[in-house]
A and B are shown apart, each in its own frame.
Chain A
């Protein structure tokens, strides 16, 4: 399943499996930011790319061509605002199993398993029985917002989120904030500015209640306002979200630390947060960390680890990583020299718009037979990526 992501406001629509990225995109569009620190699969890092690692002509124009997107994996279609009972990066699979808890949230469990009808019934029952059950109300709002087993109804969704917010459920407050964000995304529409202010106020409330994604989105809004005294507050919000393993926040915090924005420049801490963002699957962070490892920026130089990390991001479809990996394979730094492999990755990067005349020259003496092998490799890998088979 391959689909092209259209540019423009329609890409605000949340996609399954990338809820945080969707949130980031929505917020950044709302706030006029360049879409910073979102799922980095198809974007160059938001901060000016500093990928020169001693190879000639290493920096080039960033590409912004349409790209392919792998089939969403894993997460249920509704996994958008509602955090799981555990942090996203903690599967909990290795936790010691506990006895069934009679207070357990069966409605939420049904929701997670995709049994939306019984989730809806369970949550309705709970909300009717207990006017303070904010979690059930948020769940109802989510079911309406997504149209899961019921007709999609944003009015109903908003109403339930409001009740959840009033009952003190921070997830409800956050969902309400993100609805307001989406509504105000069209800056030209009437009342967009009021909506934006309302969204920020709700984000403040949810962040104060300890909602990590709210803290992250609030930080983005502060950064977008471009007021100097907001920047350090944005950093402390990013720190909160980063400590709760929000990958985009970890990436953003790493960039702030590296650039010395709103916080003292600290290359070592920048590298640590970049590594955590990378470990949480943020592709932009994987690429940036690889560059930092290659250059010894905040970490000890390690060309082998850098090469491995480029390979990881390249296999996930990142064009910059594919280009860098091709160069590494030509130069034989961090990985043994292999011109056919290099040509394959170069072809894949070029197909995404990331051309490179240095590589063209370095690879021009390949035999037709070698070229054919490289093309075959590139085609197979591209198929893997498009079908979601890449690591």
Chain B
């Protein structure tokens, strides 16, 4: 584990794989993105596999792990590094199918109880603060509180998702291993590459309190 948090980039929902390619590649190009989460607007497994086969090699070449919101089988066939699943979804099936070769991450955690239950399974990370299924955004303070709480006690890495780049520093201070970003990168005025560079710069200059010395 490195000292500083890494960037976990969440794609917009992809309906046109070839069109989605350019911004994704641009964001990952500098090598600053540790992982990319892809989700698809279409549910056809063959279409999803095909999309993964196009996108995955490019992002992997840029040094990012590619994780998809899809079935374990599609992830394997499409060459993705792992899957991201809602905690109420088929988490065990994904673990049984993909571990230990590939990544299984869990999101959609609404309570501490759900987080702890998920964290005791053989998963690689859990995510706090991502947009909900209905598109609404969880409260930032709650997410920060939760990420700090998790990072303090548990060994399983967590992704703390922020909806605004202005909140990256606050999230980095929690000690979360990954800072999750999504729409804030895609709609950034200077483009996704500039947005990622900015996130990297903020993380690089943020210290996690308590990692260097206890107390004050």
> What does the 1/0 interface line of A80-96 toward B look like (CB < 8 Å)?
00000011011111111
Is A335 engaged at the interface, CB distance under 8 Å to the other chain? yes
CB-CB contacts below 8 Å: A335-355 with B? 335-336, 338, 341, 344-345
> Are A278 and B153 in contact, with the CB atoms below 8 A?
yes
> Are B155 and A300 in contact, with the CB atoms below 8 A?
yes
Determine which residue in A94, A276, A311, A381 has the highest number of CB atoms from chain B within 10 A of its CB, and name it. A94
On whether A299 and B215 interact (CB within 8 A), knowing A89-B112, A94-B110, the answer reads no
> Are A341 and B155 in contact, with the CB atoms below 8 A?
no
Contacts of B191 in A (CB 8 A): none
Contacts of B210 in A (CB 8 A): 308, 311
On whether A302 and B110 interact (CB within 8 A), knowing A94-B139, A276-B116, A381-B215, the answer reads no
Which chain B residue has the least Cβ–Cβ distance from A312?
Answer: B152
Q: Which of A94, A96, A275 contacts B153 (CB 8 A)?
A: A275
Contacts of A289 in B (CB 8 A): 153
Chain B residues within 8 Å of chain A by Cβ, number: 27
Is A272 engaged at the interface, CB distance under 8 Å to the other chain? yes
> Are B153 and A309 in contact, with the CB atoms below 8 A?
yes
Which chain B residue has the least Cβ–Cβ distance from A305?
Answer: B155
Secondary structure call for the B interface: loop
Whole-angstrom CA separation of A314 from B215 in the bound complex: 9
Is A33 engaged at the interface, CB distance under 8 Å to the other chain? no
Which chain B residue has the least Cβ–Cβ distance from A304?
Answer: B211
Contacts of A381 in B (CB 8 A): 215
Contacts of A300 in B (CB 8 A): 155
> Are B215 and A341 in contact, with the CB atoms below 8 A?
yes
Is A245 engaged at the interface, CB distance under 8 Å to the other chain? yes
> What does the 1/0 interface line of A278-314 toward B look like (CB < 8 Å)?
1110000010010000000001101011011111101
Q: Which of B132, B154, B211, B213 contacts A338 (CB 8 A)?
A: B213
Whole-angstrom CA separation of A312 from B153 in the bound complex: 10
On whether A94 and B142 interact (CB within 8 A), knowing A275-B153, A302-B155, A311-B210, the answer reads yes
Whole-angstrom CA separation of A336 from B211 in the bound complex: 9
Min C-beta distance of B150 to chain A, whole Å: 8
Contacts of B113 in A (CB 8 A): 87, 89-90, 245
Is A209 engaged at the interface, CB distance under 8 Å to the other chain? no
Is B111 engaged at the interface, CB distance under 8 Å to the other chain? yes
Is B44 engaged at the interface, CB distance under 8 Å to the other chain? no
Is A325 engaged at the interface, CB distance under 8 Å to the other chain? yes
Contacts of A329 in B (CB 8 A): 214
Contacts of A336 in B (CB 8 A): 212-213
Contacts of A279 in B (CB 8 A): 112, 116, 149-150, 153-154
Whole-angstrom CA separation of A275 from B120 in the bound complex: 10
Is B138 engaged at the interface, CB distance under 8 Å to the other chain? yes
Min C-beta distance of A339 to chain B, whole Å: 12
> Are B212 and A90 in contact, with the CB atoms below 8 A?
no
Min C-beta distance of A254 to chain B, whole Å: 13
Min C-beta distance of A193 to chain B, whole Å: 38
> Are B132 and A96 in contact, with the CB atoms below 8 A?
yes
Whole-angstrom CA separation of A245 from B139 in the bound complex: 23
| A–B complex contacts, Cβ < 8 Å, 8 sampled | A94-B138, A94-B142, A279-B150, A299-B155, A310-B214, A336-B212, A341-B214, A377-B215
Extra contacts, 5 of them, besides A94-B139, A279-B149, A312-B152 (Cβ < 8 A), are: A90-B112, A91-B142, A280-B112, A305-B155, A311-B215
